[in-house]
Amino acid sequence: MTTHLVYRSYGGENTKSRPAWFSKLLCAASFARAAEAADVQVHWLNDGPVPGERMRLFERFGDVQTIARGPIGMRGSYVTALRLAIESDWADDDLVYFCEDDYLHTPDAVEALRALETRPEVSYVALYGATPEYANSLEYPDGYHYPRGWPVRPDVHVGGFRFVHAVSTTSTFGGRVGALRSDYPIFRQAMLPFRNRFLDHETCVIYQGQQPYTPLQHLTGPPNDFEPTPRGVARAAFLVPFRLALTVRSRRNADDPHLLYAAAPNLGCHAELGVINPGRDWDAVAADTRVWAVERGFMTS
């Protein structure tokens, strides 16, 4: 079994609220550092040109591919990354980790992925993902909770790391290549309702063989999703057939769920204020990464 790393990078920026230490170069350096520690090369997938300082890092720690006619956008680059894995000659039992360019990782993050190679009960893995002990207050203001009827599985302990059966994560995640090949239609179906948004939560719930909505939520959507305005009512009505179709899709994995486990505490951090999960001193991880990058000549200070 082998672990593969696919890192999606884009040269531009967005308007998200970021911690003081954030830069895409620093995040990429943290991932390169973790990959080097685990002796795994990174496949850097660039959506259009990226700054030269980042490219020098990429060329040092793996191979680089620039998407043709890019930038093609968040959805296009995501689909490109998924198809890169499922259309490869990688074995079904291999793990592949997809990383976006605004995540900070601990130095042992990739080592944790490698430790999971021989744990077949783990179909999907989140190095960033909320768990009952470690959930951010923005996404879980009332505390983390499992959906009604959720079958919580035992924790997985391997290589000194702990992984907890999780409900969902973001588009930065790992998966068995075989599970991805089987579940690819779920990923695509969950992209249909919106032009620039992924239903990450629903995707994860569905491939685990569980229904993404309660009966009422087919009309209103997940908690805090419905707006009691004419526009909100029209939006909710538009989404009803998509939600019903996703629930039907979930039944196809009911007898063979592909389970998601999240590192507890997290080994990756989404560098956006409000959604940084607790459990680690991410400011210290960022500072330590900067020292490493400066010593290697990829950053000046």
pLDDT tens for 235-253 read: 889 999 999 999 999 998 9
Q: d(Cα 139, Cα 270) in Å, to the nearest integer?
A: 13
98/149 same-domain check: yes
Q: Which two tokens stand for residue 246?
A: 């996703």
Cα atoms in the 13 Å half-sphere on the side-chain side of 173: 29
For the chain, how many structural domains are there in total? 2
CA-CA-CA-CA torsion sign (12, 5, 192, 260) = negative
Cα–Cα–Cα angle for 229, 139, 220, rounded to 5 degrees: 30
CA dihedral 244, 250, 254, 256 (to 10 degrees): 160
Q: 203 lies in a domain? A: no
Question: Using one digit for the tens of pLDDT, what is the confidence trace for 161-182?
Answer: 999 999 999 999 999 999 999 9
Strand 173-176 to 95-99 pairing: antiparallel
Name the least confident of 23-32, 118-127, 248-257, 264-273: 248-257
163/281 same-domain check: yes
Q: Which two tokens stand for residue 116?
A: 């999971």
Q: What percent of the chain has pLDDT over 90?
A: 78
Question: With contact defined as beta carbons under 8 Å apart, do 83 and 169 qualify?
Answer: no
The model carries a pTM of: 0.94
Domain assignment of residue 217, given as a range: 211-253
Question: With contact defined as beta carbons under 8 Å apart, do 163 and 122 qualify?
Answer: yes
91: DSSP letter:
-
Q: 199 lies in a domain? A: no
Stronger pLDDT, 137 or 112, i.e. the higher one: 112
Question: Using one digit for the tens of pLDDT, what is the confidence trace for 76-109?
Answer: 999 999 999 999 999 999 999 999 999 999 999 9
Q: d(Cα 147, Cα 199) in Å, to the nearest integer?
A: 16
Band (205; pLDDT cuts 50, 70, 90): very high
Residue 292, domain CATH? 3.90.550
298: DSSP letter:
S
Q: 72 lies in a domain? A: yes
**Taking Cα atoms as reference points, which of 38, 85, 82 lies closest to residue 62?**
38
Band (70; pLDDT cuts 50, 70, 90): confident
Name the least confident of 5-9, 12-16, 254-258: 12-16
